[in-house]
Structure formats: structure tokens, C-alpha cells
């Protein structure tokens, strides 16, 4: 049995992982969907007082409460608090699975990489989206649930820089690329070919990759397939960057 800690992206709570968690549980594993401070059922918390450190603390506390061998799954924005937590507790994590996003460098904020997010700033929060692009392949019923359950996202979590020691780099990782959103093994190979130090880890032993023919929200569009990928990732399966 593997424990999967499931960290969501912007605007989402642990509810976004319900279908994936059910699939993992049916396969005999333990799934722990995470709702970060100020989001989901915790949306009543003071958004102005919640920054990236509070989100990183929340993930780190959950990690600290588990036995070693956790597979930490981070979707999109979730990689920022997740990589900060892994950096503190690398001994707890058997594998970091990165769903349709990259990894930050120390000192970077989410808006460093995605400055357009500031267009949604409304006081201490980011306003919720009005819908999902059809390219993401989310079924109508799931999109309706998404729009009903998403909550404004604390602004400081995307403007605060992440501080890392580099300890997380020793943890095996798996990238899950969602092809309809533009990320793929081909893109990763092109990034690695630039020779930029931040992409060196992509080709290291133990780093694997999967591709899913869906958009940026595979937990909503293809939960069964995503659960299968997560189980495979936990077993060290997947393609290497340069091996095929």
C-alpha cells in the first residue's frame, strides 16, 4: 500500500481529487486529498493572512504526519508549496509527481512564471475563473461542479517567493504532461537541450514521465487514467527523457 498525498492547483480544494482518490483506494492504496488554507471548505479563513509559507507549512505538516514512503502529487500551482515541503522533509517522500507543470527555482514566485495571474487580483485574492476552456476536455457535469466549488485564491500565495535549499532535488520525480495543454516529452527534451541548469534534473536517473491525452485538469477529465499513471509512477514506471 502506498500513501498518495494529493495537492491541488489554483482555486481548488481536496474535492477536486475525489474521483482519483476513489480509484486509488479501490486499488488498495491510501489517498489523502489536501485542501490548502483559504480554499475549498477552508475558504472562510483570512485570505490576507495566507501566503505561500502558510501553504507550504500545511503540506509539510501533513508530510510530517505520514510514515516515510509518501508519493506527493502536486497539480499546477500546487508544486510551489509541495516542493517547499519536500525540501524540508525529503526523507518522507518516495517520489514527487508533478502534474502538468514545471518546478520553481528558489526565489521565484508563481507570478514570476505566470504574470498574467495578476489580472485576476481583487484585493487579497485572485478572482475565480468563469469557466474552463473546452480544450481541457472536462465533462459538462464536472465543469458545473468545478464552477460551484472553486473559491477565490489567496493572492500572496502567488506573489511570495519560494525559498529552497535544494534538498528536494534528491527525491525521485515523475512528470505527468497533459498534451492538450501544450506540455509533452518533446517540449521537455527541447528545454533540456537548452543546457539551462534548471532543466538538468529532467534527464537524471530515476526521473520518469507520462503523457495523458487530455487538458490541464486530468483529475476532472480523466481520473481513472490519472490514477493508473500515479500507481505506475509510484512503482518507478514511465519513460525517461532521453531513453526513447
**Strand 125-126 and strand 153-154: pairing?**
antiparallel
Q: Model-level pTM? A: 0.97
Could you report the per-residue pLDDT of 67-113, keeping only the tens digit for each?
999 999 999 999 999 999 999 999 999 999 999 999 999 999 999 99
Which CATH fold topology does 3-234 show? Rossmann fold (3.40.50)
Cell representation of residue 85: 515541503
163's grid cell:
525559498
Of 115, 80, 111, 110, nearest to 98 by C-alpha is: 80
Q: What are phi and psi of 93, to 5 degrees?
A: -110, 120
pLDDT (tens digit per residue) in 145-168: 999 999 999 999 999 999 999 999
Q: Where are the domains of the chain?
A: 3-234
Amino acid at each position: 500500500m502506498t500513501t498518495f498525498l494529493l495537492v491541488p492547483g489554483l482555486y481548488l480544494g481536496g474535492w477536486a481529487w475525489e474521483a482519483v482518490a476513489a480509484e486509488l483506494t479501490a486499488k488498495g492504496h491510501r489517498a489523502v486529498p489536501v485542501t490548502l488554507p483559504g480554499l475549498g471548505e477552508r475558504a472562510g479563513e483570512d485570505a490576507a493572512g495566507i501566503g505561500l509559507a502558510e501553504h507550504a507549512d500545511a503540506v509539510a505538516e501533513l508530510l510530517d504526519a505520514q510514515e516515510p514512503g509518501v508519493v506527493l502529487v502536486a497539480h499546477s500551482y500546487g508544486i510551489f508549496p509541495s516542493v517547499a515541503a519536500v525540501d524540508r522533509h525529503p526523507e518522507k517522500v518516495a517520489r514527487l509527481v508533478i502534474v502538468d507543470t514545471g518546478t520553481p527555482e528558489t526565489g521565484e514566485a508563481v507570478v514570476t512564471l505566470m504574470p498574467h495571474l495578476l489580472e485576476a487580483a481583487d484585493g487579497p485574492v485572485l478572482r475565480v475563473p468563469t469557466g474552463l476552456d473546452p480544450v481541457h476536455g472536462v465533462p459538462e457535469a464536472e465543469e458545473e461542479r468545478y464552477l460551484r466549488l472553486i473559491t477565490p485564491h489567496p493572492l500572496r500565495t502567488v506573489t511570495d517567493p519560494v525559498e529552497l535549499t535544494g534538498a528536494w532535488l534528491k527525491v525521485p520525480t515523475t512528470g505527468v504532461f497533459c498534451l492538450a495543454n501544450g506540455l509533452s516529452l518533446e517540449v521537455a527534451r527541447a528545454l533540456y537541450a537548452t543546457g539551462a541548469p534548471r532543466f538538468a534534473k529532467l534527464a537524471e536517473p530515476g526521473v520518469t514521465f507520462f503523457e495523458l491525452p487530455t487538458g490541464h485538469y486530468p483529475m476532472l477529465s480523466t481520473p481513472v487514467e490519472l490514477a493508473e499513471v500515479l500507481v505506475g509512477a509510484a512503482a518507478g514506471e514511465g519513460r525517461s527523457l532521453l531513453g526513447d
